[in-house]
């Protein structure tokens, strides 16, 4: 493989087959001149002394570098698109554009395929292309949209909904955006989603085998409903192991105990938690009554009514996010566990038949359940209600979700902050402690968006 960018073999343009003609000479010279200037600019950046930036400067510079990287990636993806459309990959006998990308760029087949998939997506989605070229859309977010575009059943609706998805990609975390995109795809391809759900359940499997060194490996796969229940049970056992470690650490090191003082790693705690699931099951007497469902499944009324219609055979069962008035805002639809894991509405409907249904009314910010100052802590239903509006830690940039998060008073209890949902925000153990000991502040605006502020008052953006 030749990595010398000054010695490109792009053909002489004299081939009689227009499908394999090389890049015109003036185009190549312009590319060389542009890349020469880019390399000179990169030399300046690489030579900078990052140690002089400070915390705020580092954050700002990282953001600027990321935008530059996105724009450079956009140029590469655009070039891959030309390689495919003009069939330049055939000039050297490559079977596909991804084969050329894999060879020239020295990347894996998966990465080469990702770039080709992105190029095809940008050909059809002009809004996505503009955002990516401007550096306003991340590479990973583009890959999520490109995977939607690869689903031919939703390609038409995606053209109409691309502006909404780009907005989501720019404002949500990657994890949240991926979930939003998956929900959009489900709404746009209901029949295909039902097939996927049935296939995932039919293909459930589990295995436990001993490796050559005597250790054991456990692996398995489940459909959405079973997986959600297993995940809920497992995380409860993990929480017990985590609480036990923190209790031991504080007994030895006092309130100043930190993660470094915990006797086990997170991986070890999770392994021990799974072991205790098996031990607890083995200790259950034969014939004992099985527990009722443990999973909280959150489903919006619109979604619940739609799945009920499908169950009764009404024609509204094929409701699509595309209507005569344009794309439906998929952000008003939800069907997931309390921790944010997606569940198929059909499974939620089936669970509702044998489980309990609780109606909750939401406002623009979250759940309206006012507990006043009757309780100091958010427990039970109050904890569940706080997680309804935001399943993850609300601290900017934190991706901790689910069982380990604590419910924090945005205005502290000692400063007369009430224990109601307007004043409740999930924080992971680290950020809850950091906020209270370092003077930071979190706040939820009228749209439900969370903000994090330094002690000096400026916001972490």
Over the stretch 392-403, which tens digit does the pLDDT of each residue have? 788 888 877 765
Q: Which helix (H) or strand (E) holds 192?
A: helix 190-202
> Can you point out the beta strands (E) in 158-234?
205-210, 216-221
The Cα 5–Cα 2 span in angstroms is 8
The Cα 341–Cα 234 span in angstroms is 14
> Can you point out the beta strands (E) in 153-246?
205-210, 216-221
Among 403, 386, 358, 381, which Cα is nearest to 450's?
A: 386
> Can you point out the beta strands (E) in 135-293?
205-210, 216-221
Q: What is the residue-level pLDDT of the chain in tens, covering all 461 positions?
A: 444 333 333 333 344 444 444 444 457 888 888 889 999 999 999 988 999 988 889 989 999 999 999 999 999 999 999 999 999 999 888 989 999 999 999 999 999 999 999 999 999 999 999 999 999 999 999 999 999 999 988 898 999 899 999 999 998 888 889 888 988 888 888 766 666 767 777 889 999 998 888 899 999 998 877 887 788 888 889 989 999 999 999 999 988 888 899 999 999 999 999 999 999 988 888 777 776 655 667 777 777 777 777 665 554 444 444 444 455 456 667 777 766 677 777 777 777 766 666 666 555 444 444 434 344 445 555 566 666 666 778 888 887 776 567 776 665 545 555 555 666 778 888 888 888 788 888 888 877 788 888 888 888 87
Residue with tokens 């002690």: 455
Taking the CB of residue 279, how many other CB atoms lie within 10 A of it?
9
Nearest 5°: phi and psi at 394? -85, -5
Contacts of 387 (CB under 8 A, 6+ apart): 338, 339, 405, 407, 426
Q: Are 307 and 348 in contact (CB under 8 A)?
A: yes
Residue with tokens 């975390």: 173
Q: What sign has the CA pseudo-torsion 411, 413, 417, 423?
A: positive
* pLDDT at res. 20: 41
Among 329, 339, 322, 365, which Cα is nearest to 167's?
A: 329
Among 197, 199, 220, which Cα is nearest to 347's?
A: 197
- Tally of helices (H runs) and strands (E runs) in the chain: 15, 10
Nearest 5°: phi and psi at 118? -65, -40
Contacts of 438 (CB under 8 A, 6+ apart): 455
* pLDDT at res. 349: 74
Contacts of 364 (CB under 8 A, 6+ apart): 446, 447, 448
Among 147, 130, 137, 124, which Cα is nearest to 169's?
A: 137
The Cα 261–Cα 445 span in angstroms is 37
- Note the pTM of the prediction, 2 decimals: 0.64
Taking the CB of residue 206, how many other CB atoms lie within 10 A of it?
9
Q: How far lies 66's CA from each of 44, 55, 138, 179, in Å?
A: 17, 17, 8, 23
Nearest 5°: phi and psi at 220? -170, 170
- Ranges of each domain in the chain: 18-194, 222-283, 297-354, 381-453
Give the Cα-Cα-Cα angle 93, 99, 102 (nearest 5 degrees): 130
Q: Which CATH class is domain 381-453?
A: mainly alpha
């Amino acid at each position: 493989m030749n990595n010398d960018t000054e010695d490109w073999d792009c053909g002489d343009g004299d081939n009689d087959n227009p499908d394999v003609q090389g890049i015109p000479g003036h185009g190549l010279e312009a590319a060389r001149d542009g890349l020469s200037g880019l390399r000179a600019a990169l030399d300046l950046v690489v030579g900078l002394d990052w140690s002089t930036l400070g915390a705020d400067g580092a954050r700002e510079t990282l953001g600027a570098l990321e935008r530059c990287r996105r724009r450079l990636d956009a140029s590469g993806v655009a070039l891959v698109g030309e390689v495919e459309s003009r069939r330049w990959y055939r000039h050297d006998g490559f079977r596909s554009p991804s084969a050329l990308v894999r060879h020239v760029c020295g990347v894996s087949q998966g990465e080469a395929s990702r770039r080709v998939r992105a190029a095809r997506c940008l050909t059809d989605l002009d809004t996505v292309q503009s955002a990516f070229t401007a550096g306003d859309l991340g590479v990973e977010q583009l890959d999520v949209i490109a995977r939607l575009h690869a689903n031919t059943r939703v390609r038409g609706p995606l053209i109409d909904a691309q502006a909404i998805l780009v907005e989501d990609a720019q404002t949500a975390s990657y994890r949240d955006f991926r979930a939003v995109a998956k929900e959009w795809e489900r709404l746009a391809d209901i029949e295909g989603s039902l097939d996927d759900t049935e296939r995932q359940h039919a293909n459930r499997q589990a295995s436990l085998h001993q490796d050559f060194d005597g250790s054991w490996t456990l692996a398995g796969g489940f459909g959405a409903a079973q997986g959600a229940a297993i995940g809920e049970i497992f995380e409860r056992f993990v929480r017990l192991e985590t609480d036990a470690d923190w209790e031991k650490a504080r007994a030895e090191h006092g309130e100043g105990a930190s993660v470094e003082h915990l006797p086990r790693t997170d991986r070890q705690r999770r392994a021990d938690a799974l072991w205790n699931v098996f031990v607890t099951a083995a200790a259950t007497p034969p014939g004992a009554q099985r527990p009722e469902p443990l999973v909280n499944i959150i489903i919006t009324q619109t979604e619940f009514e739609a799945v009920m219609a499908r169950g009764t055979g009404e024609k509204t069962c094929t409701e699509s996010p595309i209507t005569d008035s344009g794309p439906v805002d998929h952000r008003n639809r939800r069907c997931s566990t309390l921790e944010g894991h997606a569940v198929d509405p059909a499974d939620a409907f089936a669970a509702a038949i044998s489980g309990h249904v609780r109606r909750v009314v939401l406002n623009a910010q979250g759940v309206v359940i006012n507990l006043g100052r009757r309780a100091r802590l958010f427990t039970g239903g109050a904890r569940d209600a706080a997680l309804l509006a935001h399943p993850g830690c609300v601290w900017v940039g934190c991706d901790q979700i689910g069982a380990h998060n604590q419910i924090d008073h945005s205005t502290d209890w000692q400063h007369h902050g009430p224990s109601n949902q307007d004043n409740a925000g999930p924080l992971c153990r680290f950020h809850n402690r950091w906020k209270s000991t370092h003077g930071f502040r979190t706040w939820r605006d009228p749209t439900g968006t969370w903000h994090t502020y330094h002690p000096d008052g400026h916001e972490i953006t």
